[in-house]
Structure 1
Amino acid sequence: MRTIEQVLDIDAMRQEIVDLGEQVGAADLWDDQENATRVTGRLSLLQGQVDRFAELSSRIEDLEALVELGVEEGDADSMAEAERDLVKIKKSVEQLEVRTLLSGEYDVREALITIRAGAGGVDAADFAETLMRMYTRWAEQHKYPVDVFDTSYAEEAGLKSATFAVRAPYAYGTLSVEAGTHRLVRISPFDNQGRRQTSFAAVEVVPVFEQTDAIEVPDEEIRTDVYRSGGPGGQSVNTTDSAVRLTHIPTGIVVSCQNEKSQLQNKASAMVVLKAKLLARKKAEEKAHLDEMRGDVQASWGDQMRNYVLNPYQVVKDLRTSYEVGNPQAVFDGDIDGFLEAGIRWRMGAEKAGAS
């Protein structure tokens, strides 16, 4: 824990919390709303990190006391409880250790995820929906809010595409390792001959930018289309043309939002997504990392970064890290922390190798 404390520089965080607290207490803070948003957001982030470190340190101290008591009293129940606590604490320490590796420029940001069905027809659309459920279940398990901006349903089953945000500090740094092509191999439930089917889905992850990361988008560069929201099987979600599709003409970027109640709300949400993608593109181009930031993947053969195999055997394996799990259903239910941690460590190793 001492090493983690030094890497995170908890003392510096505490001092910054004091400084930001003084700014928050200023009477004129909200005269500049953009600065106020930045200050309060940074304060909340730092306080959360310090609180998590303090809580974990307290749990370790309690564990030490429990072990000491169990040894002195020869209490088998206390020792058994200590063993259970040790497993939980070890996992928490590993997660905090991984957090220290998230030092990229955008890693602290929330994540905006887009999933697209690739090659494989209806199985690919079904797979895209399964991946969306996997990520939202993971977020639920960690108590991270999720905002769904758009879901485009396929005709028979599944999703053509979906865009949603995971609202948590470091969500981008954590989930960015998921960007790429995911491959599913299984007996297709949509094939009446019961044949094995290979299908693909592409995952794109970009950071959600703050209000202070303003980017100007002239009205003449945007084409706005409105249409009626649709649900699975073409069912109408509502009876008004409230869904909004924005096309950024110079870049060809298209975003949609149909999950709000009014056209005005949908347009505002779509603009959030469009600006995030445009700013990610701009900043990534400046650093020559566009593919890394946006996940330039084709969702087809020879491009995959992870395999989900359900037949003839069952395994989920990441092709970059070689991390694998023999229980695909648990993975689809959101148990992906092992893949995320392995991916973050792999990325750090790759960055060090590239710098040497």
Structure 2
Amino acid sequence: MRFNKKLIVYLAEYMYLRIVFDCNVQKELLKKIIVKLKSVDIWSSLSHNMTADGQCNSFENIGELVNYMVKDLQDLSDLIKIVVHNDSLLINEIQEQLIHIDRILFQLEMCQMFSKKYDDCNCYVDIQSGSGGTEAQDWANMLLRMYLKWIDNKGFNVEIVTESCGDFSGIKSTTIKVIGPYVYGWLRTESGIHRLVRKSPFDATGKRHTSFASVFVYPELDDNIDIQIRPEDLRIDVYRASGAGGQHVNRTESAVRITHIPTNIVTQCQSDRSQHKNKNQAIKQLKAKLYNFELHKKRIEKKIRENKKKDITWGNQIRSYVLDHSRIKDLRTGLEKHNVKAVLNGDLDDFIKTSIKVLDQNNDD
């Protein structure tokens, strides 16, 4: 009977998830965190308490989901033993039970997907147009629109931190802050070079053009992460904000650009009318970028040791969008989709989920 086969599949997936989450270990960690939350000292630091409380909720949620899974599998097994071929009521109950188990499995798979260190953080997304003038700037703007659509579909919040408009169309660069549960976990594999091939709307001859834009995603770090920045290593510039904004924003030098001289990493912020607030925001972004910079250095060193370093030009290219052939292909996973319009309107989940699964299998960090 098909229900027996389905039950075997669910039992196999349950055993796999049980191993992945190692529930006994999770329970021990949960006990330690609860003891920690009960201590008097922890309440002197609100941010530290919020971190521990978040971990506690995460472990409790996983434990509850696994327990629900056990109960539902047991109930399903009992129902299958007594079902009669023409018992429509009992068959409907089994089908409802299967749907419920599917939902629990989906939630557990999400927990598995977002198990990396900063997956539960908010994040920043930098989009930078490549060389090519108007073509590349228009492509950068298309990528921004794609991500904003995806963010809206997910119900996340977004803030435009800074934006530099293109000369005639599109944008030269932008930084957005994405706020919501596990947004860094969702977007972390989107970092890299995105390549567009299309018949240019800016070329009267209708020739095909290739454009590039880079996307860089990094987490918003909490105050517990200690990143040492020496004041003498910073160059701070103030300027008038460009783009949309009120009179005060555009007429005063409220925008701030900070350059970390040793690494040449630059952050900027113009979202607030207060120069002081923009400076604090830019410093926060800089700390996150410096942390990511160090992680990236370690990954590169590891790849060199393993003799797996890729060519710099092509190694970071992650996705190709060939519009006149209606084809979008992820070069890391091989996943290909032909509904170009849907993807550019924010239908990115298949690409994101596949890349998380594939890349997490190949990386330890």
TM-score (norm 2): 0.76
The whole-number CA distance in structure 2 between the counterparts of 1:102 and 1:303 is: 23
Worse-matched range after superposition: 301-310 or 237-246: 301-310
Provide Cα deviations, 1:6-60, integer angstroms capped at 9, x if missing partner. 31234443443443334334444343x3xx4234223214414643674687589
Instruction: Give, in whole Å, the separation in 2 of the partners of 1:323 and 1:269.
Output: 37
Percentage of matched positions with identical amino acids = 33
Q: Distance in 2 between matches of 1:270 and 1:298?
A: 32
The partner residue of 2:34 within 6, 13, 21 is 21
Query: Secondary structure of the equivalent of 1:259?
Result: coil
Structure 1, gaps ≥5 residues long: none
The one-character-per-residue Cα deviations of 1:307-340 (angstroms, maximum 9, x if unpaired) are 11211x2121111211011111221222212112
Corresponding residue to 1:37 among 42, 47, 53: 47
Indicate which of 323, 347, 351 corresponds to 2:359: 347
* Distance in 1, Cα, partners of 2:61 & 2:31: 14
Q: Name the larger-Rg structure.
A: 2
2:50 partner letter:
T
Partner of 2:57: 47
Give runs of aligned pairs for residues 201-350 of structure 1, distance below 5 A.
201-231=213-243, 238-286=250-298, 288=300, 304-311=317-324, 313-350=325-362
- Does structure 2 conserve the Cα–Cα contact (< 8 Å) formed by 1:227 and 1:241? yes
Q: How many residues align?
A: 341
* Rounded Cα–Cα distance in structure 1 between residues aligned with 2:67 and 2:171: 44
Aligned counterparts of 2:291 and 2:363: Cα–Cα separation in 1 = 23
Q: Could you say if the C-alpha distance between residues 201 and 278 of structure 1 is closer, same or farther in structure 2, counting changes exceeding 3 Å?
A: same
Q: Is residue 146–residue 164 contact of structure 1 (8 Å, CA) maintained in 2? A: yes
| CA distance in 1 between partners of 2:66 and 2:240 (Å) | 49
Q: Is the 8 A contact 2:321 2:327 kept in 1?
A: yes
Unaligned stretches of 5+ residues in structure 2: 1-13
Partners of 1:166 and 1:172 in 2: CA distance: 8
Matched letter for residue 265 of structure 2 = I
Deviations 1:76-98 (A, max 9, x none): 99589849x83x96477357436
Distance in 2 (CA, whole Å) between partners of 1:241 and 1:172 is 31
Q: Which amino acid in 2 is paired with 1:315?
A: R
Could you tell me how far 1:256 is from its partner in structure 2? 0.6
* Residue 71 of structure 1: how far off its partner (Å): 7.5
State the partner residue of 2:6. none
1:152 Cα shift?
Answer: 1.7
Distance change >3 Å, CA 122–CA 302, structure 1 → 2: farther
Deviation at 1:236, TM superposition (A): 8.8
After alignment, is 264-273 or 223-232 more displaced?
223-232
CA RMSD of aligned residues (A): 4.0
Provide TM-score, normalisation by structure 1. Answer: 0.78
